[in-house]
């Protein structure tokens, strides 16, 4: 990264920090927590700038290190190139086929050109020394240490050269000198072949120190210290210079030679601020944690604000949708009486647009002209602070076309968030439809009352026709019998007695018919009938003539069973007699298909289960007819339901109504193997409790 690029990066970071600052300032709510977050953000921005300066220094250091590594790589490449040229020079020496007399002169010429060569040897294929030449630029290197003692490394290098048919280098070894010092050397062995046959070897002894000075010191030694080292860091040769007071940068490269590998190390000193790595790590880590924490807090706060804004938007949208969908008109007025808000329902109600109403004061355009004075007085009373009734008040509005309609206005004070009244809020309901429905309801009620009276008349006629059949049939029977007796001229004197008895019966049934008419009339009009204490035996005796008359016609035997010492029952005598008579007649008609010997009707009265508050007497009518099916049982007491061709379907319905009016209960159940029993209860009365 160039200095210009670093400047652009710093400028970009500053701009982004400023933009982020403004964005956060817009997003954060006010308060002490916000100021704390801002302080933390400012501190982090300052720390970021300081860190950028520090990172710039680190970048320069990395650039210096990269430059040193490039120099080291270039130095290794240069060494490989120079050594390759040496191999070519030796190959040229071998190809000239010098004689033993002239070989030393050519070798000396090569030694003068290459100061890093210490010695050149010509050996046969058995490694025997045929000739050699020492460098004329220094004293012979093998004066102190005989050549035979160091020949082991050379032999191994030549053996590898023979196998690879190329130049091979030996491992470095130390040669002591006469001055008490010494230096590291290595041998390079190049096989000599003729016509594909090995004829000998050429061996060159290199001084590692001179190799560095001759090949690298001129280019790299002025600014760096160049050295050969072993893999464990031991230095074999050093060249170049060092400057004190600067930081040392180190780079290493492998010099991979055939048969030997050396480590080329280059140390350079540059001016660079010295910072401890652990302080850097702690600083970056701490800043990162702090920055992340602040950003998390800002993100949470932003999410809270966004959620609050979304909730507010949803609430406003919901309120707007609710107000727009209301059929009730809403109208808001300030303390001066000016309209500040109306909803669409109010606009539709009065036939005006919202902009035609907002800001208007009395008189309002929807007030009828004849009521303007009254409405202005009412508004003045309202603005004076007098609260309207909570149930509201009725008024009349007018549309632009002159149509007037009634409304119900419910107003309440409009209270702000601070708890102060800012005006009045009114709900306006168009009650035109309500008034129309009320008129229709009154008309319908009148028609229903008339219909109810007609129904009552029809019910009375139906009951009378049903209940008068029995006494009228008895009167007709007695009258026909009397006429038959009077037509017989040979009638005995006692026939007159029978006629008198029949006429009494006719009078009794006529009186009974009158009582039935009065009872049915009272029953239909739901009057309280006159009730009296009657013995069960008296009730059975009253219906006995009619029951026996029907029984003789249908050939039915009637048995009456009355439990001893039964209390009196409190009832409407005529209606209860009709109940017993209807049940008895239904029971006899149910046995129409039974054998004559089996046609038995049982009328029974007995004490029923009672409690301390009330005593009950149970009456039952039992027949041995075909019984009642489940389908018929479900509709048995339904008015106008009957299974008889000539029936009206009112008998059992009337019986149940009469019994229930007395506080009793009418029920039925099937008998085994056949037959049905109807039971009903009446309240009993003790003689000593009868009021005087």
Integer CA distances (angstroms), 486 to 478, 483, 492, 640, in order = 12, 5, 10, 42
Q: Give the highest mean pLDDT range of 13-22, 25-34, 358-367, 617-626.
A: 617-626
Q: Is 124 inside a domain boundary?
A: yes
Q: Which of the residue ranges 285-294, 521-530, 673-682 would you say has the lowest mean pLDDT?
A: 521-530
Q: For position 27, what pLDDT does the model report?
A: 47
CATH number of the domain enclosing 457: 1.20.5
CA-nearest of 227, 248, 220 to 71 is 220
Task: Identify which has the larger pLDDT, 602 or 690.
Answer: 602
Q: Which residue has the higher pLDDT, 427 or 4?
A: 427
The better pLDDT of the pair 449, 379 is held by 379
- Overall average pLDDT of the 120-135 stretch: 89
> What is the torsional sign of CA 337, 342, 347, 352?
positive
The pLDDT of residue 299 is 75
Look up the CATH number of the domain holding residue 172.
3.30.450
Which of 253, 270, 287 corresponds to the end of one domain? 270
Residue 169 pLDDT: 92
Determine, yes or no, domain membership for 95. no
| Residue 124 and residue 241 in one domain | yes
Coil, strand or helix at 561: strand
Q: Is 50 exceeded by the pLDDT of residue 113?
A: yes
Residue 602 has a pLDDT of 93
Residues ≥6 apart with Cβ < 8 Å to 205: 117, 118, 119, 120, 121, 141, 185, 186, 187
Tally of domains in the chain:
4
187 assigned to some structural domain = yes
pLDDT tens per residue across span 25-75? 454 445 455 567 767 777 776 677 567 656 656 766 777 788 888 888 888
Q: In what order do the strands lie in the sheet with 224-229?
A: 235-240, 224-229, 260-270, 247-257
Q: Tell me which of 368, 397, 430 is where a domain ends.
A: 430
Task: Examine the domain organization and report whether 415 and 537 are in the same domain.
Answer: no
Q: 342-372: per-residue pLDDT in tens? A: 888 888 888 888 888 888 887 888 888 888 8
Q: What is the pLDDT of residue 492?
A: 55
Beta strands in 208-352 (DSSP E): 224-229, 235-240, 247-257, 260-270, 329-334, 339-342
CB neighbourhood size of 27 (10 A)? 15
User: Which of the 8 DSSP states describes residue 362?
Assistant: S
Same domain, 600 and 674: yes
Looking at per-residue confidence, does 464 or 393 come out higher?
393
Assigned domain for 99 exists: no
Q: Residues 546-559: what's their mean pLDDT?
A: 86
Same-domain status, 482 and 424: no
Looking at per-residue pLDDT, the higher value among 286 and 8 belongs to 286
Same domain flag for 571 and 605: yes
The SS3 of residue 218 is helix
pLDDT over threshold 50, residue 461: yes
pLDDT score, position 203: 93
Report if residue 129 sits inside a domain: yes
Instruction: Please give the Cα distance from 124 to 158 (Å, whole number).
Output: 11
362 and 408 housed in the same domain: yes
Considering the domain architecture, whether residues 414 and 488 belong to the same structural domain is answered as: no
What pLDDT does residue 270 have?
63
Residues 6+ apart with CB under 8 A from 7: none
Residues 537 and 412 in one domain: no
Q: What is the mean pLDDT of residues 566-592?
A: 87
Confidence band, pLDDT 50/70/90 cuts, at residue 563? very high
State pTM to two decimals: 0.38
Stretch 552-570: mean pLDDT: 90
CATH code at 663?
Answer: 3.30.565.10
Same-domain status, 546 and 685:
yes
CATH of residue 407's domain is 3.30.450.20
Same domain, 140 and 242: yes
Mean pLDDT for the stretch of residues 508-520:
67
Q: Is the pLDDT of residue 464 over 70?
A: no
> For position 137, what pLDDT does the model report?
85
Q: Mean per-residue pLDDT for 302-328?
A: 80
Average pLDDT on 318-325 reads 75
Distance, CA of 611 to CA of 606 (rounded, Å): 16
In a domain, 626, yes or no: yes
pLDDT on residue 38: 63
Q: Are 477 and 404 in the same domain?
A: no
Which residues have CB under 8 Å from 41's CB, separation 6+?
21, 24, 294, 298
Token pair 């970009």 is at which residue? 12
> Dihedrals φ, ψ of 326, to 5°?
-70, 145
Q: Which domain holds residue 371?
A: 326-430
Q: In terms of pLDDT, which residue wins out, 363 or 678? A: 678
Preceding omega of 523 cis (within 30 degrees of 0)? no
Q: Are 601 and 557 in contact (CB under 8 A)?
A: yes
42 lies in some domain? no
pLDDT value for 21: 46
Would you say residue 620 has pLDDT above 90?
Answer: yes
Q: Average pLDDT of 616-639? A: 85
Burial 88-116 (b: 16+ CB within 10 A, else e): eebeebbeeebeeeebbeebeebbeebbb
- Is residue 281 in a domain? no
pLDDT mean over 113-141? 88
Cis peptide before 426 (omega within 30 of 0): no
Could you give the CA distance from residue 481 to residue 491 in angstroms, rounded to a whole number? 13
Please check whether residues 681 and 571 belong to one and the same domain.
yes
Give residue 230's pLDDT band: very low, low, confident or very high (50, 70, 90): confident
Region 293-298: mean pLDDT is 78
Among residues 388, 411, 430, which one ends one of the domains?
A: 430
What is the structure's pLDDT at 606? 93
Q: Distance (Å, rounded) from C-alpha 203 to C-alpha 262? A: 19
């Amino acid at each position: 990264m160039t200095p210009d690029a670093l400047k652009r990066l710093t400028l970009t970071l500053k701009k982004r920090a400023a933009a982020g600052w403004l964005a956060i300032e817009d997003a954060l709510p006010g308060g002490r927590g916000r100021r704390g977050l801002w302080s933390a953000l400012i501190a982090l921005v300052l720390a970021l700038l300081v860190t950028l300066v520090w990172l710039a220094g680190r970048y320069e250091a990395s650039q210096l290190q990269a430059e040193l590594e490039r120099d080291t790589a270039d130095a290794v490449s240069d060494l490989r190139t120079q050594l390759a040229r040496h191999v070519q020079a030796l190959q040229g020496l071998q190809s000239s086929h010098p004689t033993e007399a002239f070989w030393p002169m050519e070798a000396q010429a090569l030694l003068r050109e290459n100061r890093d060569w210490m010695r050149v040897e010509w050996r046969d294929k058995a490694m025997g020394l045929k000739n050699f030449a020492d460098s004329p630029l220094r004293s012979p290197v093998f004066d102190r240490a005989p050549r035979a003692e160091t020949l082991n490394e050379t032999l191994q290098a030549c053996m590898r050269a023979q196998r690879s048919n190329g130049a091979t280098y030996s491992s470095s070894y130390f040669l002591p000198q006469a001055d008490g010092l010494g230096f590291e050397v290595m041998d390079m062995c190049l096989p000599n072949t003729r016509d594909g046959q090995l004829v000998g070897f050429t061996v060159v002894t290199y001084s590692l120190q001179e190799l560095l000075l001759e090949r690298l010191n001129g280019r790299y030694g002025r600014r760096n210290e160049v050295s050969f080292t072993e893999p464990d860091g031991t230095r074999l040769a050093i060249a170049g210079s060092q400057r004190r007071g600067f930081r040392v940068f180190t780079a290493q490269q492998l010099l991979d030679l055939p048969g030997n590998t050396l480590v080329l190390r280059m140390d350079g000193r540059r001016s660079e601020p010295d910072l401890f790595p652990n302080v850097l790590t702690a600083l970056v880590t701490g800043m990162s944690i702090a920055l992340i924490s602040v950003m998390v807090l800002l993100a949470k706060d932003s999410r809270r604000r966004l959620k609050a804004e979304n909730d507010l938007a949803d609430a406003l949208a919901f309120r707007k949708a609710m107000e727009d969908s209301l059929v009730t008109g809403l109208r808001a007025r300030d303390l001066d009486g000016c309209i500040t808000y109306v909803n669409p329902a109010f606009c539709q109600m009065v036939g005006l647009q919202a902009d035609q109403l907002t800001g208007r004061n009395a008189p309002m355009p929807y007030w009828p002209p004849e009521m303007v004075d009254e409405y202005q007085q009412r508004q003045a009373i309202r603005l004076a602070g007098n609260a309207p009734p909570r149930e509201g008040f009725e008024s009349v509005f007018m549309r632009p076309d002159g149509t007037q309609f009634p409304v119900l206005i419910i107003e309440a004070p409009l209270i702000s968030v601070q708890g102060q009244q800012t005006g009045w809020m009114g709900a306006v309901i168009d009650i035109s439809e309500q008034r129309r429905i009320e008129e229709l309801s009154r008309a319908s009620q009148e028609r229903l009352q008339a219909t109810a009276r007609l129904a009552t008349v029809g019910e009375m006629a139906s009951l009378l026709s049903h209940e008068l059949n029995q006494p009228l049939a008895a009167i007709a029977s007695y009258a026909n019998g009397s006429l038959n007796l009077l037509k017989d001229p040979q009638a005995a004197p006692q026939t007159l007695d029978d006629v008198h008895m029949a006429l009494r019966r006719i009078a009794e049934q006529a009186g009974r018919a009158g009582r039935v008419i009065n009872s049915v009339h009272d029953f239909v009009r739901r009057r309280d009938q006159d009730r009296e204490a009657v013995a069960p035996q008296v009730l059975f005796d009253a219906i006995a003539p009619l029951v026996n008359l029907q029984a003789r016609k249908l050939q039915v035997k009637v048995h009456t069973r009355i439990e001893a010492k039964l209390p009196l029952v409190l009832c409407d005598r005529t209606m209860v007699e009709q109940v017993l008579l209807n049940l008895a007649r239904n029971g006899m008609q149910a046995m129409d298909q039974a054998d004559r010997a089996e046609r038995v009707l049982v009328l029974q009265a007995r004490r029923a289960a009672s409690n301390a508050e009330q005593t009950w007497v149970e009456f039952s009518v039992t027949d041995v007819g075909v019984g009642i099916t489940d389908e018929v049982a479900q509709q048995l007491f339904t008015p106008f339901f009957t299974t008889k061709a000539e029936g009206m379907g009112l008998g059992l319905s009337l019986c149940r109504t009469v019994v229930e009016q007395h506080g009793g209960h009418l029920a039925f159940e099937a008998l085994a193997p056949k037959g049905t029993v109807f039971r009903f209860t009446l309240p009993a009365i003790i003689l000593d409790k009868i009021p005087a």
